[in-house]
Structure 1
Amino acid sequence: MMKALEVDGALGHDPSQKVTQEMLREKKDHMEEVVPLQDLIAPLDSMPPVEFAFAYGSGVFAQSRHARGSSTDAPMVDYILGVSSPADWHSKNLDKNPHHYASWLSWFGGRAMSNVAESMGAGVHFNAFVPWKTKKIKYGVISVDNLVKDVYTWQRLYIGGRLQKPVRLLVDRIHGEEMNRKNLQAALTAALLLLPTEFTEEDLYATICGLSYMGDVRMLFAEDRHKVRKIVQGSSTRFHELYRDSINTYASREILHSPPQFSPDLKARFKQANRISTKYELLSSLPACVMQRLARQTGTQYDSSVLANMAIAEAVVNSKEGHTKLVTRAVSSIVRTSSFRQVLSGVLAAGGVNTVRYVGRKIAKAWQSRQ
């Protein structure tokens, strides 16, 4: 997953390789839009060690040229840090970097920060607007246990959702790249259940990218309404690389029919199988927390067994509302709960000044996108 997102070597090493000007231009753009890896890793050197870390967002991957808008403000560089014990990590980081934290919260120590993130939020404590040389960074700290659980089960679809989009892997001592393959396959599965029989490559990535924003309370007032499309249009090659293996897996099983020459092309058209048996198969392979919500909606029993999952899938397909609405509702309920909790814990963690700055920045973007 992550390795596919690293900058490849220059094209044209093989003299026999035919490289068009368009390919070279696309490759050049791809390389220019990625922040150098060492620049991303550098801020972590001033913090306690972590087991897992990645950078993401517009501060790492540039948006498409037509989607960048007129803003000249440099975006914050966003990080997620996975640690074995958030309480211990925050305690050590408070000694090294007390200015990263809201002054009032630092009085209560690392355990208090961890408890706020766990009991009130989505398990992540964020420090925002942290100065780093000429930039500002924002980083979220989560326990490795919660991170792994979210990636596998979509318990909160918070970190799992971010890992469904292009990221730059910085530290991986937990085999996160391998672990995330199941998450990517699940994201593709959910997207197929939400899409019509025929769709474009852009529709596919936009649906995948939109999973973690479905039901997000911030989208109501403080997010760019075109955010999902901008992410996809700015990172189409990376999305293609990220989901190529999962798409090929479904193509080999005749669940999905991809173009004859499958290469990055947002206008390329796909077609998925419309068999009832395929819908059963896709539904029954969704992550555990989605299946639990589908079971509640259909009055069936969830116990993680194959037979129970098939019974839930059959009930969903045969429901009056249809599988698309029920899957949308299930995913939205996960995101809505976790985003609301994260907003509340974020207000406490950031303190009054940073909260006003952060929310103001988000609302400004949202307002600009509606003009």
Structure 2
Amino acid sequence: MLKYGIVGMHDLVQDMLNWERFYLSGRYVHILVDNLDIANTNSVNLRAALSAALLLLPPKFTQEDLFAKICSLSYMGDLRMLFAEDKNKVKKIVQGQFDLFHSMYKPFLQEYEAKDFLRVSASGTDQANISQDCGLPVTCSLVSSLPPAIRSQMGMKLGEKKRINEYGRAINEVIIGSREEAAKCMQKVL
């Protein structure tokens, strides 16, 4: 039903913001003692997970497809998924926790819908159908929402250029030739 453990807050924050180990950031973590702003940190993590999943999804998909892709991120490259784990593990997690996924990601789906990255349309069931803009500007925006460590590794593979952000600071931006190229690169990095 659940796994439990004790982790240092610094380690938790680092994994949620940078996906260095991509273990804690890929799970629903309940904090008993919060002496930091974990809710804000988790928002950054959830937005990054949504962005990563969208890069890997086709132009049209269902809400269940989206949550399954998000859930599957932390299992990418896990050799146990090839032979030791239930092949339907991700699907079972999503179906069993659909309402939790919906409540966690709803604000970010609304944010992306307001930016015209997505169009969410309700169907006759609880399930929503989603279509996304797969153009290069949206792709670049999604990549910019990924954790810095992931963007840095993608930049080493695809190239980087310096850009001045809204605060006047120079930042490195990944050079993206196509959505497919960005998705494949990100998937390899993860």
- 1:327 maps to which residue? 186
- The 3 A distance-change label for structure 1 pair 148 and 262 is farther
Q: Distance in 2 between the 1:286 and 1:271 partners?
A: 21
Query: Which residues in structure 2 correspond to 1:229-240 (within 5 Å)?
Result: 229-240=91-102
Distance 1:263 1:152 in 2: 37
1:161 is matched with: 26
Gaps of 5+ in 2: 164-168
2:172 is aligned to: 308
Letter in 1 for 2:25: G
Letter in 1 for 2:50: L
Alignment check: 8 A CA contact 1:316 1:326 kept: no
Q: CA 1:288 to 1:262, structure 2 compared with 1: closer, same or farther past 3 Å? A: farther
3-state SS of 1:78 partner: coil
- The C-alpha deviation readout for 1:67-111, integer Å capped at 9, x for no partner, is xxxxxxxxxx41132xxxxxxxxxxxxxxxxxxxxxxxxxxxxxx
- Cα offset, 1:318, TM superposition: 4.2
Map of 1:147 onto structure 2: 12
Give the distance between the partners of 1:225 and 1:302, measured in 2 at CA.
42
Is the partner of 2:5 in helix, strand or coil? strand
Q: Against the structure 1 CA distance between its residues 252 and 282, is the aligned structure 2 distance closer, same or farther, given a 3 Å change threshold?
A: same
- Residues 11-22 of structure 1 correspond to what in structure 2 (within 5 A)? none
| Equivalent pairs, count | 186
**Distance across 1 between alignment mates of 2:96 and 2:49:** 19
Q: How far does residue 275 in structure 1 lie from its aligned partner after superposition?
A: 2.2
Please give the secondary structure, in 2, of the residue aligned with 1:159. Answer: coil
Shift of 1:169: 4.4
> Residue 174 in 1 paired to residue 36 in 2?
yes
Instruction: Report the Cα offset of residue 171 of structure 1.
Output: 3.6
Matched, 1:196 2:58: yes
Residues 153, 287 of structure 1: 8 Å contact kept: yes
Contact in 2 for aligned 1:257/1:272 (Cα 8 Å):
yes
Equivalent residues in 2 for 1:185-334 (5 A)?
185-259=47-121, 265-266=126-127, 268-300=128-160, 307-309=171-173, 312=174, 315-318=175-178, 322-331=181-190
Which amino acid in 1 is paired with 2:129? R
Unaligned runs of 5+ residues in structure 1 are 1-58, 60-76, 82-141, 332-371
Indicate conservation of the 8 Å contact 2:55/2:139, yes or no: yes
Aligned CA distance change for structure 1 residues 302 and 288 (closer, same or farther; 3 Å): farther
The alignment partner of 1:290 has SS state of helix
SS of the residue corresponding to residue 308 of structure 1 reads strand
| Pairwise CA distance, 1:316 | 3.0
Q: Contact between 1:291 and 1:302, CA under 8 Å: does it hold in 2? A: no
Query: CA separation of 1:221/1:231 partners in 2, compared to 1, >3 Å: closer, same or farther?
Result: same
Give the CA deviation at 1:301: 6.8
Percent identity of paired positions between Structure 1 and Structure 2: 38
Cross-structure match for 1:125: none
8 Å Cα contact 1:294-1:316 kept in structure 2: no
Q: 1:301 to 1:176 in 2, by over 3 A?
A: same
1:362 aligned partner: none
**1:173 CA drift (Å):** 3.1
CA, structure 1 residues 177+264, in 2 after alignment: closer, same or farther (shift >3 Å)? farther
The offset of 1:223, in angstroms, is 1.4
Mark the structure with the bigger radius of gyration: 1
Say whether the 8 Å CA contact 2:162–2:170 is kept in structure 1.
Answer: no
After TM superposition, the runs of 4+ consecutive aligned structure 1 residues lying more than 6 A away are none
Larger relative helix fraction: 1
AA partner of residue 265 (structure 1): D
TM-score calculated relative to the size of structure 1: 0.46
Letter in 1 for 2:172: A
- 2:5 counterpart (71, 75, 80): 80
Rate the CA distance shift 1:205–1:330 in 2: closer, same or farther, 3 A. same
RMSD: 2.6
